[in-house]
Each structure stands twice: as C-alpha cells, then as structure tokens.
C-alpha cells in the first residue's frame, strides 16, 4: 500500500502529513523507557513484513501486520509505522519521502482505531471472543488501509479510479493471511508476555 512519489496532489499530501503529525505526537507521548524497546521491535516487524510486496500501478500489495502493531502498541503504532516507512523509502525506494504522511496515516489510523475499539474483546478471557476480535483487527486493518489508499488516489484525480479498485481487490487475500497471523502472534504473546497486551490498551 505504498503510494509512490509524484502521484498524489498537494492537498492530499498536506492533509496526510498533518494527520500523521497529530497521530505521531499522541503516540510519542505514550512512549517511555519501558515501552521504547517494544515500539522498536514492532517497527522492525512492520518494516520486514512490508518488504515482500507486489507492485500494482502506483501502489503495492504486501503484508503489513499493522493490525498487530495496533493491538500491541495502540497509538504508539503511529511512530513505529512511520519509522518503518522512512527506512523502506530510504533503503528500497518503496513509497517516498513526500508521501510519508499519507502512507503512514493510511496504515496506522485503521490499526489504532480497530485495536482501541476492540481492545476489550481482544483482552477477553473467552477464547472465541478474543479470537474473532484479533482476526478482525488484523484483517480489518488491511481492508481499511486499502480503502484509505484508494480514497487518497481518488482524491487526487478520477484517472486513478481503476488503480484504486485494483489495489483494494488485490488486498482481499492479504486480509485473510494478516487476520490469521495476528491471531497466532497475539495468542503467543498472551502466553509468554501477557503484560505486552496492556501496553497498547486505551488506558496507556
């Protein structure tokens, strides 16, 4: 879901930058010495997962694990995803510097929103409830990120309508994979480091 340089209009780029700055500011307020290693780890997870991607017009389809970042980091997913995108842009030319704001918001906002909205269900003591919530966070984050990417392209011009549709459809199978991976990883974390599930909660 990286949108390349030179694609988006100035109003879309500026809007994305402003929204991302706000999200990163909120996230950084929650980062302290205890949480910094966790933010760094999941920034690396996001960076690595996104390296396997398939170019689709002005964007790309790939794993992101942004839903996982949302569950385990909450608002701190914003700075974590931003750092991952910066390194991807500088090292591999995925996305770009001018599109960092839009790309970060498109991937971080859905993850944070779903994770906070379903946080109580994710931390439920009932396996069935939390499994569904974890899957929805993982799969839903990809769906909403794809939708925001499509909206970003459509807001730039009608000529990107076909590309926006292709990007959204291409991420449908990725949704299922991300949902399953999110369930597996969160349940593993629940067994070995249950306190990590509290760091990303709305109380922090």
7-25 per-position pLDDT tens digit? 889 999 999 999 999 999 9
Q: Report d(CA 177, CA 168) in Å as an integer.
A: 15
Q: Which domains does the chain have, with CATH numbers?
A: 10-199 (1.10.1760.20)
Question: Angle 89-24-203 (CA atoms, 0-180°, nearest 5)?
Answer: 135
56-103 per-position pLDDT tens digit? 554 556 788 999 999 999 999 999 999 999 998 888 887 789 999 999
**DSSP secondary structure code for residue 61 in this structure:** E
140-169 per-position pLDDT tens digit? 999 899 889 888 888 887 566 666 667 677
State the pLDDT at residue 20. Answer: 97
Angle separating helix axes 127-156 and 161-170, nearest 10 degrees: 160
* DSSP reduced 3-state for 117: helix
Q: What is the pTM of this model?
A: 0.86
How sure is the predictor about 203, in pLDDT bands with cuts at 50, 70 and 90? low
């Amino acid at each position: 879901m990286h949108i390349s340089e030179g694609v988006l209009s100035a109003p879309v780029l500026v809007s994305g930058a402003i929204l991302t700055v706000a999200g990163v500011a909120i996230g950084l307020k929650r980062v302290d010495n205890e949480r910094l290693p966790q933010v760094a780890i999941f920034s690396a997870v996001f960076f690595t997962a996104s390296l396997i991607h398939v170019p689709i017009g002005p964007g790309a389809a790939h794993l992101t694990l942004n839903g996982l970042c949302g569950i385990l980091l909450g608002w701190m997913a914003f700075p974590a995803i931003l750092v991952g995108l910066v390194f991807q842009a500088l090292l591999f030319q995925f996305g770009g510097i001018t599109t960092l704001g839009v790309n970060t918001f498109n991937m971080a906002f859905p993850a944070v929103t779903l994770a906070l909205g379903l946080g109580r269900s994710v931390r439920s003591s009932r396996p069935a409830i939390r499994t569904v919530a974890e899957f929805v966070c993982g799969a839903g984050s990809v769906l909403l990120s794809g939708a925001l990417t499509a909206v970003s392209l459509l807001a730039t011009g009608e000529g990107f309508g076909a590309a926006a549709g292709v990007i959204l459809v291409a991420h449908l199978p990725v949704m299922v994979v991300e949902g399953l991976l999110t369930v597996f990883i969160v349940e593993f974390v629940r067994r070995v480091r249950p306190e990590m599930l509290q760091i990303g909660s709305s109380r922090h």
